[in-house]
Amino acid sequence: MQTTVKSPISFAGRGLHSGKKARVTIRPAMAEHGIWFVRTDIDVGDTIVPARWDMVRETSLCTTLANDAGVTVSTVEHLMAALVGCGVHNCLIEIDGPEVPIMDGSAVAFVRGLMQRGLRILPAPVRAFEVLKPVSVEHGGATATILPSDRMRIEFHIDFKDAAIGRQHKSLSMDNGNFARELCDSRTFCRKGDIEKMQANGRALGGKAGRNAVIFDGDRVSSPGGLRHSDEPVRHKMLDALGDLALAGAPLIGHYIGVRAGHALTNQLLRELFTTPDAVRMVICDAEMLARLPGYGLVWDEIPAVA
């Protein structure tokens, strides 16, 4: 059955790129509503933005949604990953600023908040998109591919010159609470030189090393406290991919493979998937399929172990 949050839950903080404060409130919604954002700081015009792949307008450093009136919500990927990773199908997300707060750079605060509040079952079947044939996109040596599978699986490969990152690879199915246990506390990361360039260009204004991002400087981690996982960078890339794939508009059943991919390529993959004839179909999930969706079987006792 479909779900929503039991009652409103709020988060507050600064946006990583804009540096602006914002409060996000996730409110319950009825069955078949889906996930929508609404800008409460804008008084006139269409302020509602669907959390959907065809609403993505900008993918430089983060994923930004925009409606036809030009109203935007940026850095949605971590919150979207938490929602799909906790099995939330319907909610209305109020936000009083242009960017979702970065929190600690991961999705763990959102996951903890959602699981503490709990979910309410709604009287409607879960519909999911089932991938029927391989679809792939490529740009500049990076690729994103989705293959048929009986569950959502994410596989990622990264290769950085920085010795502290290097080559990393990981593959996980997203069922049985794996997102919460394995990925949700992995923080966004960047190289020291890149952060200085971004801040000089008016980006990453809300970033603080050690608080909401991991900073790499050649062969060392310059953030206080070091890494939460030895392969935290590739885990965070998988977190981002899950959040971007959540913009499919319903649970996605397929095997995603990213090779040096980012927000832009993952969104391009969704566009290719939904415009390729006979590549995907919507199905009504039976009990067996439900048990393989992200978020199914997740329990609170597993959450403290991730941070």
Given 76, 101, 122, the domain boundary residue is 122
Q: Per the residue annotation, which of 78, 157, 236, 263 is the catalytic one?
A: 263
Q: Of 75, 98, 122, which residue constitutes the final position of a domain?
A: 122
Instruction: State how far the Cα of 161 lies from the Cα of 175, in Å rounded to an integer.
Output: 33
| Integer angstrom CA distances of residue 88 from 5, 8, 85, 92 | 7, 13, 8, 11
Q: What is the structure's pLDDT at 40?
A: 98
Q: Which one of 79, 105, 122 terminates a domain?
A: 122
Contacts 24+ apart (CB under 8 A), 201-204: 203/17, 203/61, 204/16, 204/17, 204/61
Question: What does the pLDDT read at residue 200?
Answer: 64
Pair type for strands 127-131 and 280-284? antiparallel
* Tokens linked to 31: 């069955």
The ranges of the chain with pLDDT < 50 are 205-206, 304-307
Q: Same domain for 87 and 186? A: no
What pLDDT shows up at residue 303? 57
Give the span between the Cα atoms of 158 and 41, in whole angstroms: 38
Q: What tokens does 149 get?
A: 């599978």
pLDDT digits (tens, 9 = 90+) for 202-253: 655 445 555 788 888 878 887 777 899 999 999 999 999 999 999 999 999 9
- Looking up residue 210, the CATH number of its domain turns out to be 3.30.1700.10
Close Cβ partners of 35 (under 8 Å, ≥ 6 residues apart): 50, 51, 80, 83, 88, 89, 90, 91, 93, 246
108 and 132 in a single domain? The answer is no
The continuous run of DSSP H or E covering 150 comes out as none
Can 229 be counted among the known catalytic residues? no
